[in-house]
Structure 1
Amino acid sequence: MGNSASVTTDLSNTATANHIKDAISDNCVVIFSKTTCSYCNMAKKLFQDMNVNYTAIELDRYENGSQFQDVLHQMTGSRTVPRIFINGTFVGGATDTQRLHREGKLLPLVHQCLIQRGGGSRQPCSLP
């Protein structure tokens, strides 16, 4: 009798997970972010400074942003933002991404994605 809320939550989480997976598969670089997060801004600036297009999904602008974070937690092991994906693979947060850049590993990951997609990334996706 009390299962209807759980079923609704499961369906909603499935839809959210599908949105997240679509964004990750449709874009070379996806940053799940919040507009007020300094680490998120640091990560976005890193990609801007490298002249790399990315899709930022600002979770604080979505009514179900917390649900996005719950699903990202299940996928990555943490709810913190930013959660950064390159070429479909979770690479970490802002400091992880900066470390990859310092080690010379970040741009090759982006270039690999661009090559696989035929030289360009798709336009940013829009989520509900």
Structure 2
Amino acid sequence: MEKVLRLASANDVVIFSKSSCCLCYAVNILFQEIGVRPSVNELDNDPDGREMEKCLMRMGCSAVPAVFIGGTLIGSTNEVMSLHLKGQLIPKLKSYEQNATS
């Protein structure tokens, strides 16, 4: 749990992902297209990846990608895309924009 929380709050936008997951790739591309460079943690390339994935599930994220903004769990693909389609994702990122895009 500590590692997930530490990594989730280490950068303004953090994605816990798997390198073979097409939805993870799509969410990462979405952030890049709106000008945000997220910190991506590939769970399948981390020796603690399985435990981290279990921790994310306990936190309420049922699948990867697990997206954190400002250290707060936003959710997975459905939640991120829903926020984006409602026009709420970019405003949520505004307070982190300078750091996230630098």
TM-score by length of 1: 0.72
2:74 is the counterpart of 1:91: yes
CA distance in 2, matches of 1:22, 1:77: 17
Shift of the 57–98 alpha-carbon distance from structure 1 to 2, 3 Å rule, reads: same
CA distance in 2, matches of 1:110, 1:70: 27
CA distance in 2, matches of 1:113, 1:21: 18
Shift of the 72–54 alpha-carbon distance from structure 1 to 2, 3 Å rule, reads: same
2:60 is the counterpart of 1:76: yes
Shift of 1:50: 0.7
Which structure has the higher relative contact order (CA within 8 Å, separation 6+)?
Answer: 2
Q: Tell me, which stretches of 5 or more residues in structure 2 are unaligned? A: none
Q: Superposed, which structure 2 residues align to 1:3-22 within 5 Å?
A: 17-22=1-6
Higher radius of gyration, 1 or 2: 1
What is the root-mean-square deviation of aligned Cα atoms in Å?
A: 1.8
CA distance in 1, matches of 2:75, 2:46: 22
Q: Equivalent of 1:31, from 5, 10, 15?
A: 15
Shift of 1:95: 2.3
Shift of the 77–37 alpha-carbon distance from structure 1 to 2, 3 Å rule, reads: closer
Question: In the alignment, is the contact (CA less than 8 A) between 1:87 and 1:109 conserved in 2?
Answer: no
After TM superposition, what 4+ stretches of structure 1 lie above 4 angstroms from structure 2? none
Identity of aligned residues (%): 33
CA distance in 1, matches of 2:56, 2:85: 26
SS at match of 1:63: coil
Question: In the alignment, is the contact (CA less than 8 A) between 2:13 and 2:39 conserved in 1?
Answer: yes
Shift of 1:64: 2.1
Q: Equivalent of 1:41, from 13, 25, 42?
A: 25
Q: Deviations over 1:62-112 (max 9, x none)?
A: 12211111111111252x111111112111111221111111111111112
Q: Tell me, which stretches of 5 or more residues in structure 1 are unaligned? A: 1-16, 124-128
CA distance in 2, matches of 1:49, 1:113: 16
